[in-house]
Amino acid sequence: MTETRTTCPYCGVGCGVIARVDADEVSVRGDESHPANRGRLCVKGSALGETTGLAGRLLYPEVDDQPVSWDHALDTAGSRLREIIDIHGPQAVAFYASGQLLTEDYYAANKLMKGFIGAANIDTNSRLCMSSAVVGYKRAFGEDIVPCSYDDIEQTDLVVLVGSNAAWTHPVLYQRLVQARNANPAMKVVVIDPRRTATCDIADLHLDLAPGSDAGLFVGLLNAIDGEEGDAQQLAHDWPLARVAAFCGLAEEAVATFYAWFIAAPRAVTLYTMGINQSVSGSDKCNAIINVHLASGKIGRSGCGPFSLTGQPNAMGGREVGGLANQLAAHMNFTPDDLSRVARFWGSERLAQTPGLMAVELFDAIARGEVKAVWIMGTNPAVSLPDSHAVCQALAACPLVMVSEVMRDTDTSRFAHIRFPALGWGEKDGTVTNSERRISRQRSFLPAPGEAKPDWWIIARIAQQLGHGAAFAWDHPHAIFAEHAALSAFENHGERVFNLAELASLTRAQWDGLVPWQWPIDPEALTRARRVPVVPQTHGATPDALYPFILNSGRIRDQWHTMTRTGYVPRLMQHRDEPTVDISPADAARLGVQDGQLARISSARGLMVARAQINSGQRAGELFAPMHWNSCFSRQGKINALVEGRCDPHSGQPESKQTAVRLMPWQPAWQGELYSRDELPLPSSVCWWRKATAGVLRLTLAGDKPLLAWLMAHCTGQGWQLQVAQVGDRSSLLAWLDGTLMLGYWEGSALPTLAQSYIEQAFRSAPQQLAERHALLNGQSPGEQVDQGRIICSCFSIGENAIREAIAEGCDSAAALGAKLRCGTNCGSCVPELKAMLCVKA
């Protein structure tokens, strides 16, 4: 048994984790000594041990779909890249990296592209995430500095959450807030979000403003603060209360209450994330928020500040190494002094002199044939970029697509000519920086599987192929970290706040043992801040008679992005196992949509199918669907097929939160459940959703063209024996091979209710008695069947039905439910849902 202190690879809270390996079993618990979480973990963090298996992993390099040796893969990649550079120049090559790479990997990628290939075409998924926040900070402070810490949330009088569903997306930080508020009943919490989310659970005030209207709210607040005159203040005079209320679609009293609280609070923190950043005017919205903190003096002291929470585990590290196409390394810019400094430090004569292509432009350039080689590392753009049909077409037409991945099959890797197997969490070694600028170690505690290698190693080998080996001759991530830290200190003279001089001379052993370390900010730096004038704009979507709804998108509690790591874990799919579309009761009634019914949502770009959820927390005229589902987990479940690539002109960040769409209820001819030992080539007319089950493939299906005959032909074609039943509109089919159950299928005009766990069991050990097989064919278990309902508490697998029963029996608070069933007592992220169920009863 060994225990290793490391860091969670999911969200930007950056929780410390203690991983324990017992024989082959990995288990994790929160690290009490880590300042970010002090021992707590959320559901995703707690389930990390269940994600370290090797199923689905990419374990060997592949060239043109054939497994090959590293030598062969590197030679081929090197010669194909050299050929493109020789003929078309370095601008024809691009890297698309990720805020989930470690700092060392990220530094290496940036150095190779900007410093040695000599074009700045390296951009990252942080463009879709943090780039507006970066522009906001740089315009205000002259540098990308986040002037807050998690402690501020505990030492404040007012917390404003804007465009953040932290209860689900930064759960441990949210739990810290819940605790702080319990400890200080005078503290107030305001949530600003068009939807009523789980985060609203602790809100004293929820402002369900019109989508995209946040800048109006904050410019109006600046006006109300009545601070020092200047351009920003001047513009704010045009935004009296009545105008703000009309612009935001809010009641004047609600806006006035928010303003009064903000002005009266001695200290206030504003937490903001994707509801602000992912907008055509996201940068301006960030500055509108920063301005009210500057004007009211709520900045640069404890309990105060404009706090942009980072999404990914190392979004901040990416900003430090200059992973975006329009920055240089170590918070330097494309200015003559910085260019010369970086070139001297790297000993390069080829350093890119102008900014490169930003994510959306980059894929447009691939589509136009200008970029001919792209290397994608640690991100899944075929799912996460807007207008995904166009992205897929661009990738399909690109002469050289290289992908560094941990998984064999992703929507993006399907387009790859060369696949590099990367080490994953638990195997790789390096550092990450969280939202509060705290650098923590991710340590390896598992052996490298197959031929997988660290991302930095792959980059350094390709550098060697391109003739730059000497500048990439590191033998360990520690050497890269030391170089990165030294660059941050190089000729700094206090000009750049980001300065890791203190860490530049760590020995390998010291780096290995590094305890979480927050890089300091000199409060002086904040006093030079500038108030950027902001003219509020609304979103760029243009709803009309054909596409009357605004489609919003975001995260659900237990899934991580494109699901490559969380979508195969049964425990994490219990909460939501299909893409849903939330619709207001009024719109549902008008369109005749029933709760749980399927719906088709379409925009001018594409279509998705999701199950309708009637939600009174959803404004009329707006819809919400999760960002997670993709072609590996569904047919037509991908929201970015609909989203247009409109971007903020300053940050290049796409407006992922607002798209004009229409919704039509879909009553398919049949719906079914399919269990199978193997993948099968379903006809393209069938819609399906993959469910996470142990050991067997389970799909929920729906369609208009009959499927049963196709399935029967498929099974007989395999030489399996069939057992078929048809009663009324219901059909079922079992396929056997020598007493082993190979496939089971149940269909009806409505989705059949089945004894799921009995069926799963039958695939592990098939029932041999005729009566049992008959029950199975009917989708029932021979014994009594207990239906748990939707799982609410994923930590202890407590279902809706047990909770309703306990409420009926007298449990009248989340605490009482916890005492009886344990639900909500571990990570606490289901407490808002428990409370909602208690409310329905009341």
Ligand X SMILES: Nc1nc2c(c(=O)[nH]1)N[C@H]1C(S)=C(S)[C@@H](COP(=O)(O)OP(=O)(O)OC[C@H]3O[C@@H](n4cnc5c(=O)[nH]c(N)nc54)[C@H](O)[C@@H]3O)O[C@H]1N2
Binding site for ligand SF4 (CB under 6 A): 8, 10-11, 13-15, 37, 41-42, 44-45, 170-172
What's the Cα-to-Cα distance from 565 to each of 15, 165, 320, 405, 726, rounded to whole Å? Answer: 18, 21, 26, 12, 38
Rounded Cα distance between 315 and 246, Å, is 36
129 interacts with Mo ion by CB under 5 A? yes
What's the Cα-to-Cα distance from 559 to each of 26, 300, 628, 722, rounded to whole Å? Answer: 20, 35, 7, 37
Beta-strand runs (E) in 452-531 = 517-518
Decide whether 204 or 760 has the Cβ nearer to ligand X: 204
- How many residues in the shown chain lie near ligand X by CB under 6 A? 60
Question: In residues, how long is the chain?
Answer: 842
- How many residues in the shown chain lie near Mo ion by CB under 5 A? 2
561 interacts with ligand X by CB under 6 A? yes
Site string for Mo ion, 304-323 (x = CB under 5 A): -------x------------
Site string for ligand X, 535-554 (x = CB under 6 A): -----------------xxx
**From the CB of 691, what's the least distance to ligand X, in Å?**
18
Contact 152, 299 (CB under 8 A): no
555 interacts with ligand X by CB under 6 A? yes
Among 315, 306, 243, residue whose Cα is nearest residue 276: 306
Residue 652: name its binding partner from Mo ion, ligand X, ligand SF4, none (Cβ under 5 to 8 Å by kind): none
Residue 643: name its binding partner from ligand SF4, ligand X, Mo ion, none (Cβ under 5 to 8 Å by kind): ligand X
Residue 211: name its binding partner from ligand SF4, Mo ion, ligand X, none (Cβ under 5 to 8 Å by kind): ligand X
Decide whether 129 or 215 has the Cβ nearer to Mo ion: 129
Span 425-444, contacts to ligand X by CB under 6 A: 428
Stretch that binds ligand X, among 48-56, 122-130, 255-263, 820-828 (CB under 6 A): 122-130
In the list 134, 383, 395, 541, the residue contacting ligand X (rule: CB under 6 A) is 383
Residue 461: which H helix or E strand, with range? helix 455-465
**From the CB of 378, what's the least distance to Mo ion, in Å?**
13
Residue 629: name its binding partner from Mo ion, ligand X, ligand SF4, none (Cβ under 5 to 8 Å by kind): none
**From the CB of 773, what's the least distance to ligand X, in Å?**
39
Q: How many CA atoms lie within 13 A of 435 on its CB side?
A: 33
Alpha helices in 102-203 (DSSP H): 103-110, 131-141, 151-154, 166-169, 171-183
Rounded Cα distance between 60 and 421, Å, is 6
Decide whether 128 or 775 has the Cβ nearer to ligand X: 128
379 interacts with ligand X by CB under 6 A? yes
Residue 98: name its binding partner from ligand X, ligand SF4, Mo ion, none (Cβ under 5 to 8 Å by kind): ligand X
**From the CB of 44, what's the least distance to ligand SF4, in Å?**
4
Stretch that binds Mo ion, among 125-133, 359-367, 523-531, 696-704 (CB under 5 A): 125-133
Decide whether 15 or 482 has the Cβ nearer to Mo ion: 15
What's the Cα-to-Cα distance from 252 to each of 235, 259, 275, 636, rounded to whole Å? Answer: 20, 11, 22, 41
Among 586, 661, 583, 579, residue whose Cα is nearest residue 623: 583
77 interacts with ligand X by CB under 6 A? no
**From the CB of 208, what's the least distance to ligand X, in Å?**
9
**From the CB of 174, what's the least distance to ligand X, in Å?**
10
Residue with the CB atom nearest ligand SF4 in the bound state: 45
196 Cβ contact partners less than 8 Å away, ≥ 6 residues apart? 206, 208, 616, 617, 618
Hey, which residues does 659 pair with through a beta bridge?
551
165 interacts with ligand X by CB under 6 A? yes
Span 600-659, contacts to ligand X by CB under 6 A: 627, 639-640, 643, 656-657
Decide whether 124 or 327 has the Cβ nearer to Mo ion: 124
Decide whether 91 or 640 has the Cβ nearer to ligand X: 640
Residue 808: which H helix or E strand, with range? helix 800-808
384 interacts with ligand X by CB under 6 A? yes
**From the CB of 506, what's the least distance to ligand X, in Å?**
23
The single residue listed with the structure tokens 């937490």 is 271
In the list 7, 76, 131, 164, the residue contacting ligand X (rule: CB under 6 A) is 164
Decide whether 311 or 703 has the Cβ nearer to Mo ion: 311
**From the CB of 317, what's the least distance to ligand X, in Å?**
13
359 interacts with ligand X by CB under 6 A? no
The single residue listed with the structure tokens 């695939």 is 763
Backbone angles phi, psi at 336, to 5 degrees: -55, -45
Residue 45: name its binding partner from ligand X, ligand SF4, Mo ion, none (Cβ under 5 to 8 Å by kind): ligand SF4
**From the CB of 662, what's the least distance to ligand SF4, in Å?**
35
Decide whether 169 or 613 has the Cβ nearer to ligand X: 169
Contact 376, 400 (CB under 8 A): no
Decide whether 633 or 763 has the Cβ nearer to ligand X: 633
671 Cβ contact partners less than 8 Å away, ≥ 6 residues apart? 598, 700, 701, 702, 747, 748, 749, 750, 751, 752
Rounded Cα distance between 615 and 582, Å, is 6
Among 372, 363, 444, 426, residue whose Cα is nearest residue 640: 363
**From the CB of 269, what's the least distance to ligand SF4, in Å?**
18
430 exposure class (CB count in 10 Å sphere: 0-12, 13-18, 19+):
buried
Decide whether 532 or 639 has the Cβ nearer to ligand X: 639
What's the Cα-to-Cα distance from 485 to each of 137, 221, 240, 360, rounded to whole Å? Answer: 22, 40, 48, 31
Residue with the CB atom nearest Mo ion in the bound state: 311
Residue 226's SS3 state is: coil
Q: Rounded to 10 degrees, what is the CA torsion of 711, 577, 799, 733?
A: 0
Residue 195: name its binding partner from ligand X, ligand SF4, Mo ion, none (Cβ under 5 to 8 Å by kind): ligand X
Residue 657 identity (one-letter amino acid): K
Decide whether 11 or 837 has the Cβ nearer to ligand SF4: 11
Among 577, 578, 667, 664, residue whose Cα is nearest residue 623: 664
Hey, which residues does 611 pair with through a beta bridge?
580, 598
Rounded Cα distance between 170 and 804, Å, is 28
**From the CB of 324, what's the least distance to ligand SF4, in Å?**
23
Stretch that binds ligand X, among 339-347, 560-568, 572-580, 726-734 (CB under 6 A): 560-568
**From the CB of 37, what's the least distance to ligand SF4, in Å?**
6
Rounded Cα distance between 177 and 520, Å, is 23
**From the CB of 605, what's the least distance to Mo ion, in Å?**
21
Contact 477, 429 (CB under 8 A): yes
In the list 320, 387, 429, 455, the residue contacting ligand X (rule: CB under 6 A) is 455
Residue 535 identity (one-letter amino acid): V
Rounded Cα distance between 3 and 520, Å, is 30
**From the CB of 381, what's the least distance to ligand X, in Å?**
6
CA angle 434, 437, 439 (to 5 degrees): 70
Span 200-229, contacts to ligand X by CB under 6 A: 211-212, 214
Residue 265 identity (one-letter amino acid): A
**From the CB of 276, what's the least distance to Mo ion, in Å?**
13
Residue 162: name its binding partner from ligand SF4, Mo ion, ligand X, none (Cβ under 5 to 8 Å by kind): ligand X
Residues that bind ligand X (CB under 6 A): 11, 98, 100, 125, 128-129, 162-166, 168-169, 192-195, 197, 211-212, 214, 273-275, 278, 311-312, 377-381, 383-384, 404-407, 410, 422, 424, 428, 455, 552-555, 557, 559-562, 564-565, 627, 639-640, 643, 656-657
